[in-house]
Amino acid sequence: MSETPVTVPAPAVGRYAYDQVDRTFLHERVEQFRDQVARRISGELSEDQFKPLRLMNGLYLQLHAYMLRVAIPYGMLGASQMRELAHIARTYDRDYGHFTTRQNIQFNWIRLEDTPDILGRLAGVDMHAIQTSGNCIRNVTCDEFAGAAADEVLDPRIHAEILRQWSTLHPEFSFLPRKFKIAITGSPHDRVAARFHDIGLIARPGDNGRAVFDVYVGGGLGRTPVIGVLLRDSLPEEDLLAWLEAIVRVYNAHGRRDNMYKARIKILVQALGIERFREEVDAEFAQMDRARYRLEPAIVDAIRARFAVPDLHAPADAATRMNDARTRVPAFDRWVRTNTHPHRVAGFISAVISLKPDGGIPGDVTADQMDAIADISERYSFGEIRITHMQNVVLGHVRQDQLHALWQELLAVGLATPNIGLIGDIIACPGLDYCSLANARSIPIAQKLSARFADAGLQERIGALRINISGCINACGHHHAGHIGILGVDKRGEEYFQLTLGGSGENDAAIGQILGPALPEDETVDAIAALIDAYLVHRRDDERFVDTYRRLGAAVFKDAVYATA
């Protein structure tokens, strides 16, 4: 490999441009796995022997078929990559993919013998499935408006890429006590649920103009939900890798391996206490070879140079033309209110494509829709596509004078649902329809709720509301962080659903509290309707649901659901 000439390709808008070394590595990995799959099919490898090998390549064995989880580092895709995902969905799956809360995509109906060819096609567009599973550092997630948001103080994608390179196939961290998740944002508004990650990073400019980071540690959901605590504030950019290395070393050395339910770093931080944990990290950091890990400005700038900067020039009347269209077309105006985000450059806006159609499956997108998103992104947003941890898609840089034309194209392909941040913007895991770990199906209840509250006017009247659904206690749907959380439980062999209220994954991070006994599916849908009715009666002015709940407490809402005549 050392004799392979290194070429630096043209930067890609929004994402890191691979060179020949990166591509050679990916293709070599594919061929290694091709041999492993052949040995599994021939019987030379047992399932127990094959399992760790397939997990290193993102391949799970689910209820009905293999599931392949493909990495989308910090949520950034190019149009050609989206088209390849569409081809995989159409050729190797059942014509769709499922975007997850980790900014990945999952294909749920994969044949084992096709997997090497799929990975080969992914490698052809600089994608892979490495470290999307197993006890390792998983895909680093990022703010979906990174580099575009008006409220952003630092673009975190550069450091997310640095963390990706540091953590991929890290020789010490391939077999951690448990899976490990990192998120990073450069906005004061936490849009990555930083405090619910093993490590959450909030970046901002330091006194010298270089980045500094507030480092949260020990957060997580699942069986034991915990809000992360601040381990270090204003960490200098040059020490970022060394400090994170020290954290993960301490976890790797002291994390529980005898009990998977107590293996996450959140349990270690609780067991030691934050002060003792900080002392352990400080001690590890102090004895490290700091020069080896120092993140010099030249390194950061070299990574930044591998990202293309879009040509953000809009006509002077771009906003006027957008507003004229809003005045003429009420449906477009409603969509702009719910599905756009302020841009840092005048004349531009970020557009959010909802993957939550009325009565639909959250996060699912068909192959034709993927192709449409790729085409639309090239016409309106420099071919750049962002996947959100809310299971939606963002086009980051759209000229305001072109927004109405964009909306019309989305409308034509069924991707213009105006519900971002509203009750119809439901987060849900695949649940028992696919997952062997689940206790209940998440998809049907999400569809019923979406259909129940499909009226766009009603959704706007209800206002900001986050519903999160998980099919089991592992909390892949982040139900603890929902304003209304729904957890599927097994009750004497039947599917029931437990409600939690008051959660949040943003700056006001909170863990939802159980409202009362679990309910059957249809009663759960009625219960949500009763909660909404109670909220509309008791809220003050434009108060959000979660704020009304926090002000009043649980009693009013419990009565609305459980009181009998």
Q: Which two tokens stand for residue 172?
A: 């010490």
Residue 286 has pLDDT above 60, yes or no: yes
The span from the CA of 139 to the CA of 157, in Å, is 13
Q: How many CA atoms lie within 13 A of 78 on its CB side?
A: 17
pLDDT at 281: 98
pLDDT at 222: 95
Residue 199 makes CB contacts below 8 A (sequence gap 6+) with 180, 181, 182, 183, 215, 216, 217, 228, 244, 247
If you average pLDDT over residues 234-258, what whole number do you get?
Answer: 97
pLDDT in tens, 292-345: 999 999 999 999 999 998 999 999 999 999 999 999 999 999 999 999 999 999
Count of C-beta atoms within a 10 Å radius of residue 275 = 8
Say if residue 121 is exposed, middle or buried (CB neighbours under 10 Å; 0-12, 13-18, 19+).
middle
Tell me the pairing of strands 76-78 and 384-387.
antiparallel
Q: Which two tokens stand for residue 479?
A: 């139900």
Angle at 554 between CA 552 and CA 559, to 5 degrees: 105
The span from the CA of 427 to the CA of 96, in Å, is 18
Instruction: Give the H or E element holding residue 25.
Output: helix 20-42
If you average pLDDT over every residue of the chain, what do you get? 96
Phi, psi values for residue 159, rounded to 5°: -75, -30
Residue 384 makes CB contacts below 8 A (sequence gap 6+) with 13, 14, 15, 76, 77, 78, 79, 310, 377, 395, 396, 397
Rounded to the nearest angstrom, the gap between the alpha carbon of residue 133 and the centroid of all alpha carbons in its chain is 15
The span from the CA of 308 to the CA of 386, in Å, is 15
The amino acid at residue 168 is T
In the structure, what pLDDT confidence band is assigned to residue 3 with cuts at 50, 70 and 90? Answer: very low
Q: 3-class SS at 237?
A: helix
- Strand runs labelled E in 492-563: 494-501, 513-514
Yes or no: say if 107 and 97 are a contact pair by the CB < 8 Å rule: yes
Residue 207 has pLDDT above 60, yes or no: yes
SS (H, E, C) 426-485: CEECCHHHCCCCCCCCCHHHHHHHHHHCCCHHHHHHHCCCCEEEECCCCCCCCHHHCCEE
Residue 163 makes CB contacts below 8 A (sequence gap 6+) with 140, 182, 184, 244
Q: What is the DSSP letter of 231?
A: E
Q: Which two tokens stand for residue 319?
A: 């906003």
The span from the CA of 241 to the CA of 75, in Å, is 21
In the structure, what pLDDT confidence band is assigned to residue 8 with cuts at 50, 70 and 90? Answer: low
b/e per residue 48-72 (b: at least 16 CB within 10 A): eebbebbbbbbbbebeebbbbbbbb
Residue 94 has pLDDT above 60, yes or no: yes
Q: At what angle do helices 318-328 and 330-339 cross, to 10 degrees?
A: 120
Q: What is the DSSP letter of 351?
A: E
pLDDT at 564: 62
pLDDT at 11: 78
pLDDT at 5: 43
pLDDT in tens, 146-188: 999 999 999 999 999 999 999 999 999 999 999 999 999 999 9
In the structure, what pLDDT confidence band is assigned to residue 12 with cuts at 50, 70 and 90? Answer: confident
Q: Which two tokens stand for residue 145?
A: 């408006």
If you average pLDDT over residues 415-434, what whole number do you get?
Answer: 97
pLDDT at 7: 52
- Residues above pLDDT 70, as percent of the chain: 98
Yes or no: say if 478 and 468 are a contact pair by the CB < 8 Å rule: yes
